[in-house]
Structure 1
Amino acid sequence: MAVLRELQRRGSLARTAEALHLTPSAVSQQLATLAREVGVPLTEKDGRGVRLTGQARVLLAHADLVAAQLERARADLAAYGEGGRGAVTIGCLSSGILGLLPDVLRGLDERLPRVRVDVVESTPPDLFTALDGGQIDVAVAVDFALTPPDTDARYSRVDLLTDVMDIAVPAGHRLADGGRIRLRELAADPWILGDARSCVGAVARALCAAAGFTPDIRHAVDDWAAVAALVEAGQGVALIPRLVRPVYSHRRLSLLTTEGEAPSRHVFAAVRTGAEGDPVVATVLDQLRLSAAESTGSSEDAGPHGLAELPVPDLPGVGEGLHEEQAAT
């Protein structure tokens, strides 16, 4: 059933095998065994590949219910034993590890002192494959094309925060003192963006497309610290989320905001449906909510730059702009 669910997500036997660390022949054998057990065909030819049959989709709906009930059973057993022991693994995107998880982990050290908390960096779709397989217990992600939709019954979701993205430009850029600008004003600039298959690159590309242009990508970089360093070096402009402000607070660059509604990413946590009743998982989700609320509050208090709680370096760019704002205030 797990193989069938993964095939639904990945769309091909090869990608399913790669995600589950199996050979394509092993995937085919497991699907054939399941088809014999339930007595209906589960796949059919589709060119050089396969696709799910209507019967397979009916079976998957029941599989989701069975998986959710098993998670509820585990949660009930954990609650019976009063929880507070064992281990929990959080899978999280890199910006969440930078800007959110440090406070979460400090809170969990106090609230769950006997529970081991592990962190794994991951993004969809691999993040949700690991969640389905039990390799992680809580997933922290942003909404983009490869993220399961809100209506996916396999997961129980918790909204955490809206992560505003500022425009980072070199300190000497022509618009460095421009304040609020239109994103399209940077259409002719070289851009620093992540890979199109990653949430970093996919979200930025979508925002540029919504602004009416295709960015000229000069550097394809997924690491936020590297993005900030390249902007500082005058190699291009980039969209940088406020969640990762620790990596760029010391850089000689300028942060601009957009006119109208600011570009942003929606950050959420997800667990397997039914697992939210586990006392340890419930505590982790609650701490994620609390830390996200505090992070959002700090960002709003900071104004458009979102740097109020960080030391302001005595440098042009980030520091200089903040000193001018404070003097005006």
Structure 2
Amino acid sequence: MEQVSGTFTIDLRRLAVLRELQRRGSLARTAEALRLTPSAVSQQLAALAREAGVPLTEREGRGVRLTGQARVLLAHADAIAAQLEQARADLAAYGEGGRGSVTVGCFSSGILGLLPAVLRGLGERLPQVRVDVVEAEPPDLFTALDSGQVDVAVAVDFAKAPPHTDDRYSREDLFTDVLDLVVPAGHRLVGQGPVWLRELARDAWIIGAAESCCGAVARSVCAAAGFTPDVRHAVSDWGALAALVEAGQGVALIPRLVRELYVRRRVVVLETEGEPAVRNVFAAVRAGSEGDAVLEVVRDQLLASGEALLG
């Protein structure tokens, strides 16, 4: 392949495809995330490789992996994306923060327990700005953030979320959400005082889908307690999950963020020994967009509403 020329030029849209391949790990998953065909993804990557003058992928079994040159290019791609976001923020600041709309992507229980207070606060602080909400979780949430479909991502730390060291995003920890151990009113451990989570290892469990943030977190909490839960019902809707607990169909870990869905039911929240099960909730924007006047207010309101929840 030819060496990089003195008139080096690359298509930023193709860089976005390479960034998505880095996140997804396969052409098929990249194509699905970008709503392209695998052939189109391959063509975009091949064109980018020609522009860069270096190989960007190499065969690995039936799939592909990134080359060292691709990783060098991606490091620059992150810096370029951040610089473009900074330019966008500077232009918005020049116009006195006159952005007409902002889109917040958030996980389902965050929409239920956190965003109503956030939206009320933003309605008072930014009455001229339209705020749209999209339900999404990592990795799709961060694909939407990268592409500009979402301006602020609110997510839970788990395996599919970006690591703290990911320089593509500027992130802010919002609050720690406790997962309450909820059991039917007639459960054998009610009234026995604090319990170890492992004491429920032989119970039937009601847990969200494994690929969802809460399903993944609940499974990891049980694993840390030393057992694999017997998942009888895979339910991601928190109201339906609480109803199944009330009906005696199993036990569950339910985020305190949605406690309004279970406090009025005939269920019992058991106190647990040791540190309670928790999940970390954070907000992220594209690196370089931190100075956007509207996004600053949105992140400030997320922090304030999160603190009020803890109070």
**TM bucket, shorter chain:** over 0.9
Which runs of 4 or more aligned residues in structure 1 lie more than 4 Å from their structure 2 counterparts after TM superposition? Answer: none
Partner Cα distance (1:84, 1:211) in 2: 50
- Does 2:45 align with 1:31? yes
AA partner of residue 149 (structure 2): Q
- Does 2:223 align with 1:215? no
Q: What is residue 248 of structure 2 aligned with on the other side?
A: 234
How does the TM-score come out when normalised to structure 2? 0.94
Structural mapping, 1:141-180, within 5 Å: 141-180=155-194
- Does 2:306 align with 1:292? yes
How does the TM-score come out when normalised to structure 1? 0.89
Please state whether the residue corresponding to 2:290 is helix, strand or coil: helix
AA partner of residue 148 (structure 2): G
Partner Cα distance (1:289, 1:178) in 2: 37
Q: What is residue 66 of structure 2 aligned with on the other side?
A: 52
One of 100, 103, 108 as aligned partner of 1:89: 103
AA partner of residue 9 (structure 1): R
**How far 1:247 sits from its partner (Å)?**
1.4
Q: What is residue 205 of structure 2 aligned with on the other side?
A: 191
Q: Which runs of 5+ in 2 are unaligned?
A: 1-14
Structural mapping, 1:43-122, within 5 Å: 43-122=57-136
Q: What is residue 18 of structure 1 aligned with on the other side?
A: 32
User: Which one is further off, 243-252 or 223-232?
Assistant: 243-252
Once the two structures are superposed, residues 194-227 of structure 1 have per-residue CA deviations (whole angstroms, 9 ceiling, x without a partner) of 1111111110000000000010010001111111
Partner Cα distance (1:85, 1:51) in 2: 39
Q: Which runs of 5+ in 1 are unaligned?
A: 298-329
Partner Cα distance (1:84, 1:248) in 2: 41
Partner Cα distance (2:218, 2:195) in 1: 17
Once the two structures are superposed, residues 1-51 of structure 1 have per-residue CA deviations (whole angstroms, 9 ceiling, x without a partner) of 000000000000000000000011110000000000000000000001101
Determine if contact 1:195/1:201 at 8 Å carries over to the other structure: yes
Q: What is residue 272 of structure 1 aligned with on the other side?
A: 286
Q: What is residue 200 of structure 1 aligned with on the other side?
A: 214
**How far 1:256 sits from its partner (Å)?**
1.1
Determine if contact 2:92/2:99 at 8 Å carries over to the other structure: no
* Aligned residue pair count: 297
Partner Cα distance (1:43, 1:211) in 2: 41
Determine if contact 1:43/1:53 at 8 Å carries over to the other structure: yes
Partner Cα distance (2:192, 2:82) in 1: 52
AA partner of residue 264 (structure 1): V
Partner Cα distance (1:23, 1:69) in 2: 30
Partner Cα distance (2:98, 2:125) in 1: 9
**How far 1:179 sits from its partner (Å)?**
3.5
Matched-pair identity in %:
76
- Does 2:137 align with 1:123? yes
Partner Cα distance (1:21, 1:114) in 2: 33
Once the two structures are superposed, residues 121-168 of structure 1 have per-residue CA deviations (whole angstroms, 9 ceiling, x without a partner) of 110000000000100000000100001000000000001000011100
How well do the aligned residues superpose, as a CA RMSD in angstroms? 0.7
User: Which one is further off, 240-249 or 59-68?
Assistant: 240-249
